[in-house]
Each structure stands twice: as structure tokens, then as C-alpha cells.
Structure 1
Amino acid sequence: MTKMTETQSIILTAGAQRPENIALPLPKGLAGAAAKMAVTKMIEHGWLQEVDANLRRGEPLWRETGDGHGTTLIVTDAGLLAIGIEPVVVKSVVAIRKHAAKTPAPMEATAAQPKQRAGTKQGMLIEMLRRPQGASIAEIVEATGWLGHSARGAISGVLKKKLALPVTAEKIEGRGTVYKLEIA
């Protein structure tokens, strides 16, 4: 019997838990030549198989084939057995998950709203935007230590989308784009 490395075991275990037994993404820190060598050995042992990636479903790519298509890696039945998992069990779990995903969850009376934590950079950002003069990106960067793109991302991603706060933007000569939060 072939001895399995810890990295190979991690790849197979993670793949066994994903839909369609997709082995990607590989563990952090495993890239380049080391990743290629580990995957090649696993394919030789029959633990992984390279198959065409379904880009419509957003399957991760292992490599591009050069003709506009790509491949992904899946854990084979032999790979599952190598880590002590019966392939039938994995297929049953996948079927149960698919059924559960199709079954609508009961509606809760009140949806949990994300909470604002005091004393954080996010809290500081909200306070800056609540001021009558608002805050420019330069002012936010100076106060938080973030980079400009991080500040804009926090405004659009966290404040506007996640917390659903009414943030407005206005170009003001001499200050640039100034963001304000109008809360009654």
C-alpha cells in the first residue's frame, strides 16, 4: 500500500466534503511546482482525476487546456477509500444536501440584522460619515490607516450592502468625493 503524505490527505479530505468531490482549491501555501508534483503523484495513484471544468457552474480551474477550456480535479472512489471513506456514503450525503437545498427553510418572524460594534474602525467610519460635512476618502484613510480601495470597499460592501445604510456620495471641489450618511 502506498504511503500518503499529510498534504495528500488534506486534499482528499477537503475534496470529499465538497459538491461533486472537487479537490480544488488546494490548501493555502501549496502552489506552483509543489502543487503540480503533489497532484501528479495523486493522479498516478488514482486518487485524483482531471476532468473538464464546468465554467457555468463556477468550478475552479486546475489548468487551461489551450483551446479555451479548462480542467478541474475530482477525488476518485479510490481516493475516498484511501482516506477511509466509503464512496456510497459520500454519494448519499450529497443527495441529502441537494434535497435539503431544494426544500425551503421556514421563514423567521424577524431576520437578524448585522450589528454595529462600537470602538472599531467600522464604527469610526460610520461616525465620520454622520458628521454634517461627511468624510472624503483621504480623511477616512488618514483616520483608519486603510488604503483608499479598502475604504471604498467598506463603504460600498459593508455599509451599503451588508448594513443597508443610506450612504450618499458627492464630488466637492478641493475635497474630492465626500461620503455622507443621512440617518434621521
Structure 2
Amino acid sequence: MTKLSDTQLVILSAAAQRADRNLLPLPGSLRGGAARKVIGALLKRGLIAETVTDQLAKADPALNRIWRNDEDGCAILLHITDAGLAAIGIEPERPDSKPAPKTRETRTGTKQARLIEMLRAEGGATIDEIAAALEWRPHTVRGAMAGALKKKLGLTITSDKTEGRGRAYMIVED
């Protein structure tokens, strides 16, 4: 773990808690040369980074949201880096990694459980067969398959058209 001063820890911890990871505003007691020195040390170690925006807003010490302006007048913000998060013991979030899906289980004896049982049976079941067995309307059957089974439970449902029976739906076991 990187050795940090109390002031650096406070600044990095506050930035880690902000949704935009902006370092500013700095603590009220940190101004002028002291602020530049602390920020300079964090920049040098790669714990924070400057981000140039396309905003033409002027750095205002009263608002304390913009660090400085570049030569074109664009605002430069300060953000904590992944190294900065690691330095204070926070695991950086990876945008490409999706959170683990919630595992859902169906209760036994429910209409949803009966629907799943019918779709897992040999040859599956048609919309009309399911609607008659569960006393549902056909649109309710289609909605339950698309919403509860596919989206919420993550089940894969396929269909085959058979002569004399029509389209039969079935759950594909992974």
C-alpha cells in the first residue's frame, strides 16, 4: 500500500465516494500553494489525473469544481485514477464486467412452476395447451414466457412447428 499523508487520504477518499470521481472540491482548509503542492504530488505519483473538458467555464476558487483552464480556456478537472483507488484500498470498477446475475428459484406448486414443467416435458407445449391447463389467456402465456422465464430466470425457450399440433414451445437445457 502506498504511503499517503492524512491530507492526501482525505482528498482521495472523498473523490472515491463521488459518482464522477472528481477530486474537487478540496477540503476548505486546503488552498493556494498548499493545494498545488498536494495535487502536484498526487499527479506525479499517478494517483490522480487531469481531464480536459470541452467546457469553456473559468476556474473559480469559490465554486472549487474546476482545477484550472488550459491555453484554449477549456476547463481541466481532476479525477482519481485506478491507481489512486488501489492506494486507498478500493477495487476499481470495471465497465466491461457485468454484475453477477441474481439467481432466482421458482416456488413449487405455482402456475409458473407448472408452466416450466410443461415446457420441459417431451415435445413441449403449445400456447393453447398451456392456456387451458393454467386457465390463462394466450397473451398471458406469451408474456410469462418472455418476461418471467426468459428475462428474469434466464431460460432459453425454443419452438418447433409440428403437423396437426401447431407451434410447440420448449425449454432448452444448457
Which bracket does the TM-score occupy, shorter chain normalised? 0.3 to 0.5
Higher relative contact order (CA 8 A, sep 6+): 2
Q: Could you tell me the TM-score, scaled by structure 1's length?
A: 0.44
Q: Where is the helix percentage greater, Structure 1 or Structure 2?
A: 1
TM-score, reference length from structure 2: 0.47
